Amino acid sequence: MGSRGRPRGDGYPYEDDDRDAAARDPEPEQDAPAAPPEPGGRAERRRLARRVRRRRRTRRAGELPLLVVVALCIALILKTFLVQAFFIPSGSMEQTIRIGDRVLVDKLTPWFGSEVERGDVVVFKDPGGWLGGESVQPTEDPVGIKQIKQTLTFIGLLPSANEQDLIKRVIAVGGDSVKCCDARGRVSVNGSPLDEPYVNPGNVPSEIRFEVQVPAGRIFVMGDHRANSADSRYHLDEAFHGTIDVQDVVGEAVVIAWPFGHWHRLEQPATFRMVPDQARGGRRAPRRRRGGSSFA
């Protein structure tokens, strides 16, 4: 039998009904995949910034050892050829230089033919036996601090308290005649008496009488604290009458660098500019560098 005349809803829906149902209840669509972030977006910029920061940190970490090596090399060059710090362990140069002061010593100018002059304060190697009684043993540092100080001393950033060197003032150079004392108790060089305001207050120029002809290439030295300085005067009976070979001079002390309260330049006293150069027939010695005040 045909379906004509059958009422709807008898279990045999028409095709139109199927289409209507599909339209009313469409199948759920699957979620579309997320689109990739657009180039130049905020998230991408953050990732790039983090990557740049990591690269910079890595580069810096790799450069640090090289910078340390370069700094150490520069410090060693400065110590060897230019400037070195020295610790003063005794009072032989008071009040000009006091115990515990740190002085900077110019080691460069001798490389250019500069000669030691009268009035210079110089550091020189112990000729043998001069350090006895003058040096002061430094206090023992705790473990760790001691090793750090040794490292800084080796590269020249810290002065050593154990240097076998002395510091004194040059009174006469090769060819000079140095004598003490004249009628007023003064030291004279080539017959010219010295006015010595740098001598430690309360000291006389010298309690030891002497007369020395300084050999060529050597210097006669004295400490400013004349009552507490085992200088050339105490070695007159030795070879060369207590004079020092200029080859043993480490350099010229140019400034007291520490403590800051003692800071000042060590200039050539004016009294030495009045000394005639005996080796040049009585003419005054030419000055090779800096002027100076009357005080060291």
- Write down the catalytic residue from 90, 107, 160, 168: 168
Please say if 107 is a catalytic residue.
Answer: no
Separation between Cα atoms, residue 50 and residue 147, nearest integer Å: 40
| CA distances (Å), origin 123, targets 35, 234, 280 | 79, 18, 27
Strand partners, 84: 105
Q: Does residue 168 have an active-site annotation? A: yes
| Cα–Cα dist 257/236, whole Å | 33
Instruction: Output the 3-class SS for 116-174.
Output: CCCCCEEEEECCCCCCCCCCCCCCCCCCCHHHHHHHHHHCCCCCCCCCCEEEEEEEEEC
Report the alpha-carbon distance of residue 295 to residue 198 in Å, rounded.
Answer: 6
C-alpha span between 172 and 170 (Å, rounded) = 6
Residue positions annotated with a catalytic role: 92, 168
